[in-house]
Chains A and B, each alone.
Chain A
Amino acid sequence: MSLLGAPEVTEDGEFIINIGPQHPSTHGVLHLKVWLDGEMIKKVQPHLGYIHRSIEKMSESLSYRNFIFATSRMDYLSAHINNEACALTVEKGLQIEAPPRAQVIRIIMAELTRLSSHQLWWGCTGLDLGAVSPFFFAFREREAIMEIMEETCGARLTQNYMVPGGVMYDIHPNFQNRVKTVLKQIKENFKEYDQLLTGNVIFEGRTKGVGYLSPEDAISYGCTGPTARGSGVSCDIRKWFPYDGYEKVQFEEILGTGGDCYSRYMVRMAEMKQSVYIIEQLIDNIPEGDFQAKTKNVIKLPKGEFYQRVETARGELGVYIVSDGAASPYRIKYRSPNFSNLSALEHMATGAKIGDLVAIMATIDLVIPDVDR
């Protein structure tokens, strides 16, 4: 924007407008600079850094037990899975493995997180595309999952339940019963989801054929998660590089065919059902035993480099730790899914209309703190 408030105009007569809230206290602080020819998008440039908190640098001064809590603030909707990734990396360095009980608890928690994250996404997608009711329907089940988290982990969103060697404390006595009740409710309510949004003519009109991403482009932009699987790229880390005993549970990797917004939508809807299926297999079979492996008070990793990848609700999260043998990491790098998924935005949105940009943004399912870290 120029000083007078009139939009900037380039030599070719293209308008340049800025989209997005830019105050650090608002949520989803992404600034998109959009070059427009009438209603057609010529170019999109995401401007990052409004919510950068230097989590990677901060972690260098924290011990291996302490740095995990900060990753809950990266992708806050899959906080559990972020914590799990860090815990797994430290375990890799220590060459220990979490006990079977801890592994099963971790998977159940991770899938509950995935469910709640996808439910929030479903509600927000409806909200972005002009439907207000889905948001309330999605929050009904999400609230039930949050209450389970609150009871067992002690917090709703930033749980910090995963520690190197297992989980912080054992599950709450009510945990199994509550999860079963919630799953039953969720399975019934999937029908309502489809009734409300999936078959809706306006929704289909706004998502079908919009924001096409070919499988080749998805790979070359480094897209992962449902964004890439919507284009038919098989990239589920749980299948390809199983961790924490995912090789023992049965589930399907959902692949879309269209590559458009609707395909990404359908992939996430089907993934929710898979998450329910995974939890159902495990909830009655939590093995007895320790919930935490014994670790030293001060954890020191041997000299070397450790990398662990996990599948969050949005794609592949990689944690890379370089250790020089001290009690805190020498360097930490997070390969976050949202950053790579955002890079495909320009490719998808160029040539689309400005209303489609909202649909594309909604189905990439961005969490901005994960982009900036």
Chain B
Amino acid sequence: MFLKDYIGTVYKSSKSLLKGMKLTGYYFSHPKKILTEEYPDNRATLKMADRFRGEVVMPHDENNEHRCTGCQACEIACPNGTIKIITKQELQPDGKKKKAIDTFVYHLELCTMCNLCVVACPSDAIAMAQTFEHSVYDKKQLKKTLNKPGSKIMEGVE
């Protein structure tokens, strides 16, 4: 009786092991079913999703104009203090002074890509870019100025 039980257990155990081995063997002999993404070799064809959040950018049009009014809604919305907006008073043609951005400082090293700044922006001045390879050797390079030199605000954006 003992021997019969023993052999039964050995049979059952080997069967369960072989069952699992069969599956791994199947995938071993079917290399086309393997779904490995060959990054970074596929860089040329790799396309991130449209909504993928890689970093905050400020889109400029062909006349080097942006839509940022310097209202600082994004600065308030950011949980980490990633955004610092330095504003200046700009003289308008009609003699009135108007608030405009001097530098839009963005600390990529502090950013958690939560998208709250983009949602908070009333004039769609900032957006999320799909770039994701951000590693640099010096932390200072991650402090970015988003408005391009010489750029000014687009006509009609209040």
- Name A's B-contacting residues (CB within 8 A): 62, 65-67, 69-70, 133, 140, 143, 147, 150-155, 158, 160, 163, 168-169, 172, 192, 195-197, 199-202
7 nearest A-B pairs in the assembled complex, by CB-CB distance:
A201-B13, A66-B79, A69-B114, A154-B51, A151-B49, A154-B53, A160-B114
Q: Chain B contacts of A200 at CB under 8 A?
A: 16-17, 19-20
Residue B7 is within 8 A (CB to CB) of chain A in the complex: no
Q: Chain B contacts of A163 at CB under 8 A?
A: 119
A–B complex contacts, Cβ < 8 Å, 16 sampled = A62-B79, A66-B77, A133-B24, A143-B35, A151-B51, A154-B49, A154-B52, A154-B115, A155-B52, A158-B113, A192-B23, A196-B24, A199-B16, A199-B19, A201-B13, A202-B17
CB of B79 within 8 A of CB of A70, answer yes
**CA–CA, A199 to B14, complex, Å?**
11
- Name B's A-contacting residues (CB within 8 A): 12-13, 16-17, 19-20, 22-24, 35, 48-53, 77-79, 112-116, 119, 128
CB of A158 within 8 A of CB of B20, answer no
CB of A168 within 8 A of CB of B119, answer yes
Nearest Cβ on chain A to B126's Cβ, whole angstroms: 14
CB of B51 within 8 A of CB of A201, answer no
Nearest Cβ on chain A to B55's Cβ, whole angstroms: 12
CB of B35 within 8 A of CB of A140, answer yes
Q: Chain A contacts of B53 at CB under 8 A?
A: 154-155
Q: Chain B contacts of A67 at CB under 8 A?
A: 79
Nearest Cβ on chain A to B138's Cβ, whole angstroms: 20
CB of B79 within 8 A of CB of A150, answer no
**CA–CA, A163 to B118, complex, Å?**
14
Partner of B51, one of A62, A152, A160: A152
**CA–CA, A169 to B70, complex, Å?**
25
CB of A69 within 8 A of CB of B77, answer no
Partner of A155, one of B13, B113, B119: B113
CB of B116 within 8 A of CB of A65, answer yes
CB of A154 within 8 A of CB of B116, answer no
Q: Chain A contacts of B17 at CB under 8 A?
A: 200-202
CB of B116 within 8 A of CB of A195, answer no
Q: Chain B contacts of A168 at CB under 8 A?
A: 115, 119
Partner of A196, one of B13, B20, B51, B113: B20
Q: Chain A contacts of B115 at CB under 8 A?
A: 154, 160, 168
CB of B77 within 8 A of CB of A196, answer no
**CA–CA, A169 to B128, complex, Å?**
14
CB of A201 within 8 A of CB of B112, answer no
- A155-B113, A169-B51 are known; give 12 further A-B pairs, CB within 8 A: A65-B116, A133-B20, A150-B48, A150-B49, A151-B51, A154-B115, A160-B115, A192-B23, A195-B23, A196-B23, A199-B16, A202-B17
**CA–CA, A151 to B49, complex, Å?**
5
Name the residue among B49, B53, B77, B128 with the largest chain A CB count within 10 angstroms.
B49
Nearest Cβ on chain B to A181's Cβ, whole angstroms: 14
Name the residue of chain B whose CB is nearest to the CB of A204. B16
Nearest Cβ on chain B to A161's Cβ, whole angstroms: 9
**CA–CA, A172 to B114, complex, Å?**
18
Q: Chain B contacts of A192 at CB under 8 A?
A: 23
